[in-house]
Structure 1
Amino acid sequence: MNEPHPSSEPLGPGMMLGQGKYQVVSLLGSGGMGDVYLGRHLALDREVAIKVLRSRTGLSSTEALARFRREALLASRLEHPNVVRVLDFDQENGTAFIVMDLVRGDSLFERVAGTRLELDDLIDIMEKVCAALEAAHQAGLLHRDLKPENILLEPFESTPGLIEERVKVCDFGLAKAYTAEAAANPNARSLTRVGEVSGTPEYMSPEQARGERLDPRSDLYSVGTILYHLAAGRPPYTASSAMAVLMRHVNYPVPRLREAVPEADPRLERLIMKAMAKEPSDRFQTAAELRSALLSLHSSAAHSTQTPQS
């Protein structure tokens, strides 16, 4: 068997993978670590998503493969309705690939492009993202690259004639194993090398921008940046370069939502300010706590719109 390595050539329709188990149908898109294809599991006659490790990653083949394998192994440990499920990891003629559930629908990035979400819609989506993070953190995993592109919205018919959406968090390509003991021990060997910066600048925590050791509160900061983006129609920090954006996360005050959107709910502004606090100790401490705070906005908003009884 050939040692798997990053693929430099796109896969053509009809190509077989996994010793004839999977057939490539078409290219769906590209991410930071690989190309994603629509595929078919032939024995089950089922559509799947196939992510193939691409050579243009900026990493050596050994590093890229190790990170790709880690994505498959870590994500396969998560069984949660709001996490895209990993079904298989294999290699064919030296090409490494991951097989995942196919999610048909828009990304949150596509949904929010050029617009802002209403408070109820924002809460409905992001409380499910928090539920997915809660499961990941309880399993000892950090996402480390949470952003609107990695949140998928899949329509489904919940009852005849009623279309709802499933929220799915995907792309654990930068996920890391985490233990509270390791985070509390500054002398412990870190799974994230000090000085290593990976992620998407617009949604990265200050400690991630500095290349420091991370814990679940870094993911919660990312949730705060996404909440701001959904409510304001743009990320909280923008600049002419990625480095400038990172430095704003580190050095600039948390932007106030109502300066960008004067009519925004002040309770949402306060929630975002807490989620994006510069010091992790000043943030929500768990995904469950942040989810509860979001849901309280939902119920408070509903309560405040009721007509007082005479």
Structure 2
Amino acid sequence: MFQLLTDFVKSAEMHMKLGTVVQDSIARVKPGIIIDAETRELPDEFVYHEFDEPELKPLVKMIQSLTDAKSITAHAFCRDVCNVIINKVTNEVRREATALLKSEFSTSMKRVILTVYALELPALRCTFEKAYASEVGLDEDRKSKKKETSRLLIQVATTLSAGIRRALQTHLDEVYSTESICAMVNKLKIKMKTKNEQQWRTRIANELLSSLDATQLADSIRQACKGHLNEVHNAFTVSLEQLCVLNSELTKPHEQLKVKMRDVFVPMVADLKVRGYALQYEIKYGKLKVGSKLGEGSRCRINECKAAGNWPCLPSKLAVKVVASEDKLGRKNESWNETMVTLHCIRSIKFHENLLSVYGWVIPRPGKLYIAVEKVKTDLQSLMEGASLELTSRIRMASNVASGLAALHKQGIIHGDLKPQNILVKFDESSGWSALINTCKPKAIFAPTALGEPFHIAPYLYEDSKRQRVFGDVYAFGMLLWFLCDGNCRRPDVYDKYTTRETMKIAVAEKAIRPKRPEECDSALWGLMKQCWMEEKRLTLDDILERLGI
């Protein structure tokens, strides 16, 4: 706003318009000043010795030589007319100049003010108002932003108006100083031989008015505006710096508390609730008996379900995920807390055909957790390694993932680790391959995969891997879509030389390197991928579903 106003005030266009405003204003008040001069009542007597100031003695002598002291007191008359001129010209020029400023920059100022208010930051708005509209008193019960903006706009113009008034008065006081009046009276003494009071009055008023220079007055107004704007901008800058320091100090403990809640208190509470739910599931459905091993990862093991009591599915349709709080060497399993938080979140998830069903869990003994999940034999990465699928099948699975992810987001849940290994797939004779999102998997976004260093990680996660944002899932979906369209079960070749977390951070977060367009990818899908990787686009899963035609 400061730059906007100062550029306008300094412009040649503004100088020309101000000069015209000043000339028109003087022309409008001139007839009234002449009438005032001709009709002004003055004392019948004037005692010269009352003015003992040395600078007034030459003027007193001139008065005595020009006219009769009983009929008119030249000094009093000149000074009175000067005061009339100062008041009338100041008021008229200030009013017209303020109107000019308001009309010229009102549209741009409204845009700036609305931007400040749109930030919904009361402290910043208060700082802005205090600097640019120092006396503004906005009602707490505001009817509308339009009314609020209009009021602030008027107040900004009013503060400029006060500066213009001071500048005009200062300039006119210099024009009509005692020395200048002496010089003018001396000039009139040479020019005028008449002692006719009426003529003398009119001539004095005209001479005083002719002393005004519209260009100089316009320059005074411009300088006053620039000075005022510099003053309020400096005040705003200082206040803003103080606000930033205060905000920084206030947010430090808040951020520390948030981190502590996320990393310590939330897992503790989740652990207690998961244990309570485990007891409810065991009372309701009975125990789970584990059969042969189906697969094993670094953090958990997947087993057949040997017996399932009264659980919702037959044992043949269940798999049991086994998680231990410690590994075989007695070291704490880092995924234990993550698993507790995940179970607490997914317990409220409504059934969706593209989300892995989790039926419940039990704790057979301390430090051991059995989770009953829908049995799915393979994941997307394993399928792509061993089979060549048509593009239509791959795009259908991408649509399945988008649909499941949208369901999670609508329930306020961020998946946080969307990659091929976490997408499970199953085959149906009638519909072919379909995909499900594995919702029962601790987040391990930086864990190396069979393909190498993961490439689905959004740039901001390299700074804070536990921060949950919709953009993280959207970005990862864009990478999954690339993986499916490429069809070769590999990392993008642009990341071939980036083989560690640190180098991937450089590539993704600092250099903003993104994969190249897959050969089988059409323009629409390629455009969708690129937008998924652009944070400023702020795509939602509903946008993605619409683009995929779902």
- Give the TM-score normalised by the residue count of structure 2: 0.41
In 2, Cα distance between equivalents of 1:272 and 1:146: 15
| Counterpart Cα distance in 1 of 2:381 and 2:503 | 22
1:241 and 2:529 equivalent? no
Amino acid of the structure 2 residue aligned with 1:291 = L
Q: 1:107 to 1:250 in 2, by over 3 A?
A: same
Aligned partners of 2:319 and 2:373 also within 8 Å: yes
1:71 aligns with 2:324: no
Where 1:127 maps in the other structure, the secondary structure is helix
Matched, 1:50 2:303: no
Q: Whole-Å Cα distance in 1 between the matches of residues 386 and 455 of structure 2?
A: 17
CA distance in 2, matches of 1:163, 1:122: 13
- Distance of 2:390 and 2:426 partners within structure 1: 19
SS of match in other structure, 2:464: coil
2:300 is the counterpart of 1:34: yes
Q: 2:528 matched to which residue of 1?
A: 271
Q: Which amino acid aligns with 1:75?
A: I
Q: Using the TM superposition, give the Cα deviation of residue 147 of structure 1 relative to its aligned residue in structure 2, in angstroms.
A: 0.6
State the match for 2:476 in structure 1: 222
- Structure 1's unaligned 5+ residue stretches are 5-17, 176-196, 297-310
Q: Aligned partners of 2:327, 2:299: CA distance in 1, in Å?
A: 8
In the alignment, is the contact (CA less than 8 A) between 1:86 and 1:99 conserved in 2? yes
Counterpart AA for 2:529? I
Identify which of 103, 107, 113 aligns with 2:385. 113
**Equivalent of 1:205, from 458, 462, 476?**
458
Instruction: Please give the per-residue CA displacement for 1:123-160, whole angstroms capped at 9, x wherever unaligned.
Output: 20011111111111111111111111111111234xxx
CA shift for structure 1 position 276? 1.4
Distance 1:32 1:252, change over 3 A: farther
1:250 aligns with 2:506: no
Structure 1 pair 77/240, CA: closer, same or farther in 2 (3 Å)?
Answer: same
Matched, 1:148 2:420: yes
Higher alpha-carbon deviation: 125-134 or 106-115: 106-115
CA contact (8 A) 2:301 2:321 kept: yes
Assess if the C-alpha contact under 8 Å between 2:299 and 2:333 holds in 1: no
Higher percent of residues as strand: 1
State the Cα distance separating 1:116 from its structure 2 match: 6.9
Percent identity for Structure 1 against Structure 2 = 21
Shift of 1:94: 1.3
Equivalent-residue separation in structure 1 for 2:510 and 2:541 (angstroms): 25
Is the 8 Å Cα contact of residues 276 and 283 (structure 1) preserved in structure 2? no
Q: Which amino acid aligns with 2:464?
A: G
User: In structure 2, do the counterparts of structure 1 residues 49 and 168 end up closer, same or farther at CA, with 3 Å as the change threshold?
Assistant: same
CA deviations 1:51-83 (Å, max 9, x no partner) are 1224349x9748643322222221222221111
SS in 2 for 1:142: coil
Distance 2:536 2:388 in 1: 30
Q: Report runs of 4+ in structure 1 exceeding 6 Å deviation.
A: none
Q: Partner residue of 1:291?
A: 545
Number of aligned residue pairs: give it.
251
Instruction: Note the 1:79-228 alignment, pairs <5 A.
Output: 79=350, 80-113=352-385, 118-157=390-429, 162=430, 164-174=432-442, 198-200=445-447, 201-211=454-464, 213-228=467-482
| C-alpha separation in 2, matches of 1:248 and 1:56 | 34
**1:217-274 deviation line (CA, Å, top 9, x unaligned):** 210100111111222232333422233223322123443533xx44532222221111
**Which letter does structure 1 place at the counterpart of 2:549?**
L
> How far apart, CA to CA, are the structure 2 residues paired with 1:165 and 1:68?
28
- Bigger Cα displacement from structure 2, 40-49 vs 83-92: 40-49
CA contact (8 A) 2:380 2:420 kept: yes
Q: 1:63 & 1:105 partners in 2: Cα distance?
A: 26
Where does residue 281 of structure 1 map in the other structure? 536
Distance 1:98 1:252, change over 3 A: farther
Shift of the 198–163 alpha-carbon distance from structure 1 to 2, 3 Å rule, reads closer
CA separation in 2, counterparts of 1:50 and 1:251?
42
Q: 1:25-73: per-residue Cα shift (whole Å, max 9, x none)? A: 111223453112111343244232211224349x974864332222222
**Unaligned 5+ residue runs, structure 2?**
1-270, 272-281, 448-453
Contact 2:377 2:425 in 1 (8 A): yes
Q: Kindly indicate whether structure 1 or structure 2 has the higher relative contact order, using CA contacts under 8 Å at least 6 residues apart.
A: 1
Structure with bigger gyration radius: 2
Distance 2:387 2:538 in 1: 27
For 2:525 and 2:388, the matched residues in 1 are separated by: 14
Do the aligned partners of residues 281 and 60 (structure 1) sit closer, same or farther apart at CA in structure 2, a change above 3 Å counting? Answer: farther
Please state whether the residue corresponding to 1:264 is helix, strand or coil: coil
* Aligned counterparts of 1:163 and 1:137: Cα–Cα separation in 2: 26
Give the number of the structure whose residues are more often helix, by fraction. Answer: 2
Q: Deviations over 1:174-222 (max 9, x none)?
A: 46xxxxxxxxxxxxxxxxxxxxx84453211111122163311210100
Give the Cα–Cα distance (whole angstroms) in 2 for the partners of residues 245 and 172 of structure 1. 27
Amino acid at match of 1:271: L
Residue number in structure 2 paired with 1:181: none
Aligned 8 A contact 2:302 2:321 in 1: yes
Q: Normalization by structure 1: what TM-score?
A: 0.70
Question: How far apart in 2 are the matches of 1:165 and 1:101?
Answer: 20
